Chains A and B, each alone.
Chain A
Amino acid sequence: MSFSSLDFYLATVVVIFGVDVLSAWGLNLQYGYAGIPNFSFIVFQAAGAYTAAILTLGPMTATSGQTYVAGTHVPFPVALLAAMAAGAALSAVIGVFAMKRMRADYQAAILLILALILNQFIVTDTSLFNGTSGLANVSRPLGSLVNPSTTGWQWAYAALVWAICAVVLFAVQRLSRSSWGRALRAQRDHDAAAAALGCNVVALKMQVFVIGGAIAGLSGGLLVFYLQAFNTASWGYEETLAIFVSILIGGVANNWGVILGTFLVQIVFVEVPNLLPQFGYIGLVDALEWVVIGLLWMAAIALRPQGVIPERRVRAERFGLPALRRAPPVAAAAAAPGQQGAHEERLGAAGGASRR
């Protein structure tokens, strides 16, 4: 492998890593913090990717050789924002009926089947996004700043992707530590108790579903501008499972752990095998990769379901709530009799009141 092709490959891995981390944070918000088994996550990434593609491909002409709807030219940042909006909008539509309270396995099955339906729909109706052939010739953005056919452009794009990652990380960390994030975790751990304390469980799930969908759409937009092409094979339901395994291995509800998990799964197990000399027929390595992902998944659930870097325990004092710590032993012993007496007195008074 010559230096320039290695350089090209490295830049590609860095970009893909960034996009995968971004989508894993989106899914972690939904699954890790809120407990939503979103097996159709990849659909929202696809929504963002297709939206970004058609908004920059320009109107469809007879010579473009592909069929799609609503082609226009909009600036790159607008296309990215539209990709986010598309992911959020599709999430809102699906969330209306999939975020009801129901058995967790039914919810998972519904979302999984929805991913199959939507993929099959795009395959069947070729007028929307050109079916299985998909959209191609998406032009690389920011061509006026860096020559898009150089590895310099690739590295510049990688920097942009990671800059966006930094912003999203800041946002998801802030969200997960806010009172909203606390309510999210409360309903995940015990939805009846959270509802009794006044959390609107369905609304919370709906909100996090839409936010996660927006992050998925953003990651899809970033991906399509790098790959310049997108088709139905790019978003099979298995891709969601790979993101799930990244989260399970890295750390459920831990955004730093998710980076590690994504590196281990998406880079070490999915990207590095492409570097190895090809063996067997074409497609054998891909098939074996999915076997490994499935085995990793079972191993993760069996051995360490909380992930390599588990969720950090959140302490009540950090939120200015009264500390729940026990008093030191000596002080407790000294204070105990009086407290107990007071307690009994109060009980007695209450009993007297009720007797009267």
Chain B
Amino acid sequence: MSSVVVESIGFGIVDASIISIGAMGFSLQFGLTNVFNIAYGTVLTLGAFAAYLAEQWGVVGWYDVLIGAGVGVIATWLIGKGILATFARRNLGLFELITVSLAVELVVQYSVDAADGEQLFSYSFDQGRALRFLGMVFTVTEVEIIGVAVGAFVLLECLLRLTRTGKALRAVAEEPRLARACGIPTSRIVNVAWVLSGALAGVAGVVYIINSLTVSAFTGTDFLPLLLAAAILGRAGSVTGAVVASLAIGIATQLVAAVGGTGYSTIAGFGILVLVLLARPGGVTSGLALKTEVTL
């Protein structure tokens, strides 16, 4: 039994790496803009499809991650600056913006579905030999995925802690109006957040299919609740929080999968998000302290 638990923790760490890449991006985006952007999931799908197409054209291996990141930036820019910002200018409330992002998700997801003929595509990636570590089993590729996540985390933390842009990002996430009053060019900083989160979403999509080796139009949408749970559990805007929450969620869902099967692990992941949204101090408030302003 205990070996099963240890192995599940190993699988959970791999899952957590993939979740954390996406969650860091969503956390930045949500922390800065305050828009609950459900269309984030389709950016993952587009990144994954970009990697699949790149592979078909002969670009294989880790170059696909860069292509995915590029596609993620473009898709996020179009969705964020092209659509959500246009709607936000009409003084819509938080609920209207979540519905718009849901509609965008519906349109993109089913456009991909219509274009690809509702198929599940398989992607090939050499997983390498199995390595054993403290009773957990990892393939070489899985270790590299963990490396990508750690690398993304370290780079992002350095950016946030050591540069002026990073300082401005944290300031806008904390208190947008005060940041603007202090002379921080809020809209430019929000643009930085869109680009960073788009790149992270694209990378998360590619890493997801490197691990699962399949992609369909619904890949990102199915994976989205776990990202949202990690980003909000770790407090929106906090990259470290997103990573820690991803670890908790990745390991918890894998433990449930070991006990009750994969169907229940999905349910557990979604359930964590519901609990997080219900319990989050910023989520449930007594009324007046609602942060309802949108920065786009």
Contacts and interface: CB of A to CB of B under 8 A. Distances in A.
A181 interface: no
A235 to B, nearest CB: 16
A287 B93 contact: no
Contact of B106 (A104, A106, A123, A294): A294
A192 interface: yes
Contacts of B225: 113, 116
A284 B282 CA distance: 41
A102 interface: yes
Interface string A33-52: 00001010000000000000
A288 B286 contact: no
A113 B280 CA distance: 16
Interface residues of A, number: 43
A267 B273 CA distance: 35
A104 to B, nearest CB: 4
B7 to A, nearest CB: 22
B114 A288 contact: yes
A102 B94 contact: no
Q: Which of A105, A121, A295 has the most CB of B within 10 A?
A: A105
Question: Would you call the interface of chain B mostly helix, strand, loop, or mixed?
Answer: helix
B228 A124 contact: no
Given A109-B36, A192-B287, A298 B103 contact: yes
A124 B106 contact: no
Contact of B267 (A120, A191, A291): A120
Contact of A113 (B90, B94, B270): B270
A47 B280 CA distance: 29
A17 interface: no
The CB with the most chain A CB atoms within 10 A, among B114, B283, B284, is that of B114
Interface string A242-275: 0010000000000000000000000000000000
Interface in A88-135: 97, 100-106, 108-110, 112-114, 116-117, 120-121, 123-125
Contact of A102 (B83, B104, B114, B283): B283
Given A117-B274, A294-B110, A103 B102 contact: no
Contact of A104 (B94, B110, B113): B94
Interface string B70-99: 000000000000010001001011111111
A298 B104 contact: yes
A291 B110 contact: yes
B1 to A, nearest CB: 23
Contact of B263 (A109, A112, A124, A302): A124
Contacts of B21: none
A117 B100 contact: no
B113 A287 contact: yes
A241 interface: yes
B261 interface: yes
Given A298-B104, A301-B92, A302-B87, A284 B114 contact: yes
A259 to B, nearest CB: 22
B95 A108 contact: yes
Interface string A300-334: 01100100000000000000000000000000000
B118 A281 contact: yes
B36 A106 contact: yes
A7 interface: no
B117 interface: yes
A204 to B, nearest CB: 15
Given A117-B270, A241-B106, A284-B114, A37 B95 contact: yes
Q: Which 4 A-B pairs have the closest CB atoms?
A: A124-B263, A294-B106, A294-B107, A104-B95
Interface of A: 37, 39, 97, 100-106, 108-110, 112-114, 116-117, 120-121, 123-125, 191-192, 238, 241, 244, 281, 283-284, 287-288, 290-291, 293-295, 297-298, 301-302, 305
Given A39-B102, A109-B98, A123-B263, 15 more contacts: A101-B287, A102-B278, A104-B98, A105-B36, A106-B283, A108-B98, A108-B99, A113-B225, A114-B274, A191-B287, A241-B106, A281-B118, A288-B110, A294-B104, A297-B100
7 contacts: A110-B277, A117-B267, A117-B270, A120-B267, A283-B118, A291-B110, A298-B83
